[in-house]
A and B are shown apart, each in its own frame.
Chain A
Amino acid sequence: MKFLIFEWAAGTFTYMDMVDAFDKMCISYRTVSYQFADKNNDEFFTDRFMKVLKDDSYDAVFSVNYFPLVSKCCHELSVKYISWSYDNPLDVPDIELTLGLPENYVFLFDRIQTEGYRRKGYNNVYHMPLAVNCNRLDRIKPTKRESELYSADVSFVGKLYESMFDSYRDLMNDYCKGYVDALVNAQSKVYGYYFVDEMLTGSLVDEINNHFIELEPTTSFSLSKEALSYAIASRITRNERLILLNLLAKRMKVNIYSWEKHDLLQNVNYMGSADYYDQMPKIFKTSRINLNITLKISQSGIPLRVMDILGSGGFLLSNFQPELAEYFTDGEDVVLYESIEDAYEKAMFYINNDDLREHIARSGHDKVRELFSYERQLGKILEISGIE
């Protein structure tokens, strides 16, 4: 069995673990990579990629995340294209133009997102939770110096999300401003169900766009429902992250690892960015509590960060996510919160209960090892894709 792996630019987080699993599964592969300026149109890429595809005989093309031009090339040459995404949303403009091509087998980690595509008729979109390479993570042992450097009561690895929400909102009329503000407030209080998409009706989006035109008659900008939904989700997530981190930092040592420093964070130690393969596992291993605050638009799935925390043997305090509660037991393998107040109270409780915290971390690690290895998940993917 031989795959052609397509990698985006300088690499995706899960690539090394993926090919490690391919090696163990005795799957041969060649990898090519490319940076797109436009994911939907690139004559040079298409030409080069087709040459590579024709150069050898492959059972399938495989990529982390979905690339429409790879899909088109595979369609042209009738080669199966398997993609497995850790991004949500997929960030592919006009994805519907290629998603339904018969060579595609598209795997998404979020069940609700998958069901959304299937309801639209894309029966080649499948749900597949992400994976973790516990063998690699178990081998990583922080040195004494690293333990001192990374240790904290609470660590959070991730960005705060710069949302376009304010920019869009500034251009809305008073009614729409009030409507989206209420939506943000209401959704902020609800965990486990994202109702924003249902509340953003076509007539509301039309009204917003009509007001844009009233303000700027020559504008060609048109706000899509998806873009507004993402802006709202990222605004809510940003608020949640800011409030919770600031709240916790009043009572304990909180470290944040992110690309950007944020002035809105008070008493939170900014630690710079963390390398995925080397630093991040050490942070998870040496922090007493590892926070996961999922981007609101991810409605049900288990984010990669959760897999990484549990795979590293770290203690996880996460917002409630339906699939997390489905596979893991709250209070035994992980700890889930359903409001900012709940998160604060649980952090205060577990920070003072070392034995219980360590027991939960061990149990979460054992379960993620058992249920979400790369070999296991990739095996399922190959079976669904009809590749034996």
Chain B
Amino acid sequence: MKTLYLINSKNNNYHCRLAEEFRPIVPGEVIDMSDGTSLGDRYYEIRDMNPDVIITFDLAGHALRTGSDTLSLNNIYARIAHILFHGSDYYGNDLRPRQNLSMFTYITDDEDISAFRERFPDIPNVAGIAPIYYKANNNDERAHNHEIIGRWWEEFKKEAML
């Protein structure tokens, strides 16, 4: 299963470390949206890689937009998981664009899913994810992260029929 991680290390300096927490459980290639590549070139690069799964952190892939300002990722045939590490207010209007049925948004555990759904009706699939240490400082924290990520991955595969 070909998996891509879309991160933005310039806006969120913990993204690289988090990707390293995920990759032992879900191997995949990391694409940093802030590495200077133009968004147009970036979109075609992602599309041409034919990924089965795209995992984005903090909606890093939402920077890719069509001429009508819809999400370019909607044009890609892949299952896409958007993992949010902050409360919904943090993302401003980035939670407003319509997401395809193949996109799943995971919000922090302390946020009310029903209220989120009501507030963002164009996000079709919403679920929670337990807190993860941005940087695992010891084996216990690492084990905690891997357990959470492992559990999330199994749930995602089931929901996304992978």
Residues of A bordering B, CB below 8 Å: 7, 9-11, 16, 30-37, 43-45, 47-49, 52, 273, 275-278
Contact = CB atoms under 8 A, between A and B. Distances in A.
Nearest to B64: A10
Contact of B72 (A10, A48, A277): A10
Given A32-B124, A33-B74, A278 B67 contact: yes
Contacts of A34: 100-102
B98 interface: yes
12 contacts: A16-B68, A32-B124, A34-B101, A35-B76, A35-B77, A35-B102, A44-B160, A45-B101, A48-B101, A48-B124, A273-B67, A277-B67
Interface residues on B, range: 20 to 34
B25 to A, nearest CB: 22
B98 A7 contact: yes
Interface of B: 66-68, 70-72, 74-77, 79, 98-102, 121-122, 124-125, 160-161
Nearest to B78: A35
A33 B68 contact: no
Contacts of A16: 68
A37 B70 CA distance: 20
Contact of B74 (A35, A37, A275, A278): A35
A237 B45 CA distance: 32
A157 to B, nearest CB: 13
Given A34-B102, A52-B101, A9 B75 contact: yes
Contacts of B74: 9-11, 33, 35
Among B71, B79, B102, B121: residue with most chain A CB under 10 A:
B102
B71 to A, nearest CB: 6
A275 B67 CA distance: 6
